[in-house]
Every structure is written in C-alpha cells, then in structure tokens.
C-alpha cells in the first residue's frame, strides 16, 4: 500500500459515518460507526472502538480482519441500514447491495467515499468496549463524493453553522 492512498482516504473522513464490516464462514457482518482515527503511518494503523455487546466483535476477534467503509453524503440510508434502523433488513443488512470482498475477506460497500482493509494489529480491552488497532493493508478513495456526517443528531452533509 502507498502512503498517499492512506492519506487520501483519511482526508475524506471528516468525523463521518462509516460502516465497519467483517465476514466469517460466508456470513457478512456490518455496523455503523462514527469514530475511527489514524494512529500511525509507519506502519499504517487506525483505531476503531466497538462495544463488547456487538456480535461483530467476536467475528473480528476470530478472523483478525475488518474493513472501514466511509459513506457518501447521499448514503444516509446505508448508515441507517447498518445502524439497525431498518428492522426488516436486520437479518441481512447487505441485501440488495453490490458489495464485494476485500483481500482480507471483508465486505466492501459500493460507491463509498473510500475504504480501508485492515488486519487486527492489537486489541485492547477498555471496559465496555474493545479498542482495535488495525493495520491498513489496502485502501481506496474516490475522486468524487463528500462524506456523510453525523452532527447535532442529524445525518447529512457537512455544513458550516451560522452564528
């Protein structure tokens, strides 16, 4: 992976909404997250925290891999889908999506602002959550599209607030 690819993907994430994905035994898992951060560029590391109550946690621990999919502002419906806000899709949140698998075997959502394919570098128990450090082994960024952000309890595009 090239340093510029890592930097380009991180530049497109502006406290935006991401879908963390993983797969095990041909079953795909995903959940909406709004926090991950760059930790290091030598090696390329990001951090991502997730509640111990999420089933995807066990999948990531078992497989040692996850992907971060950064959503475009037009994809609020995907953020809601993977946040469990569309109950009829909870059994298969990937239904109807043209997702592919990364080199590490994690689902990648179509038409994202960018994605990062990660191997678990370290897992740290921080109480109610596990903090994963992921070594980025592959990255993609789109030349078009703005990230979907969560601000003031709203899903939408980033806008300057007037005072």
pLDDT tens track for 52-111: 888 889 999 999 999 999 888 788 888 889 988 888 988 899 999 999 999 999 999 988
What gap in Å lies between CA 39 and CA 14, rounded to an integer? 15
Strand-pair partners of 120: 134
Average pLDDT, the chain: 82
Does residue 153 sit within a domain? no
DSSP for 118-158, written as a single string = EEEEEEEE-SSEEEEEEEEEEEEE-SS--B-EEETTEEE--
Q: Note the pLDDT of residue 96.
A: 93
Cβ-Cβ contacts under 8 Å for 1 (sequence gap 6 or more) = 44, 136, 137, 138, 139
| This prediction's pTM | 0.82
Does residue 156 sit within a domain? no
Q: From residue 21, how far is each of 1, 111, 135 by CA, in Å? A: 20, 15, 15
Count structural domains, the chain. 1
Does residue 159 sit within a domain? no
Does residue 87 sit within a domain? yes
Q: Note the pLDDT of residue 119.
A: 98
Give me the CATH number covering residue 27. Answer: 2.30.110.10
- Does the pLDDT of residue 161 top 60, yes or no? no
Does residue 126 sit within a domain? yes
Does residue 152 sit within a domain? no
Q: Note the pLDDT of residue 5.
A: 75
Does residue 162 sit within a domain? no
Confidence band for 21, pLDDT divided at 50, 70 and 90: very high
Of 80 and 121, the structure prediction assigns the larger pLDDT to 121
Domain assignment of residue 118, given as a range: 3-145
Does residue 129 sit within a domain? yes
């Amino acid at each position: 992976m090239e340093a510029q690819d890592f930097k380009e993907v991180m530049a497109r994430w502006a406290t935006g909404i991401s879908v963390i994905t993983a797969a095990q035994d041909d079953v795909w898992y995903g959940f909406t997250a709004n926090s991950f951060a760059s930790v290091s560029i030598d090696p390329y590391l990001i951090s991502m925290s997730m509640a111990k109550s999420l089933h995807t946690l066990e999948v990531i621990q078992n497989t040692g891999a996850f992907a971060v999919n950064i959503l475009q502002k037009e994809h609020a419906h995907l953020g809601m889908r993977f946040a469990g806000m569309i109950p009829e899709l909870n059994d298969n949140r990937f239904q109807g999506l043209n997702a592919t698998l990364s080199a590490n075997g994690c689902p990648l959502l179509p038409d994202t602002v960018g994605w990062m394919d990660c191997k678990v570098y370290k897992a740290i128990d921080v109480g109610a959550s596990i903090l994963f450090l992921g070594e980025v082994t592959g990255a993609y960024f789109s030349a078009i599209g703005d990230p979907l952000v969560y601000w003031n309890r709203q899903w939408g595009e980033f806008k300057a607030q007037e005072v």
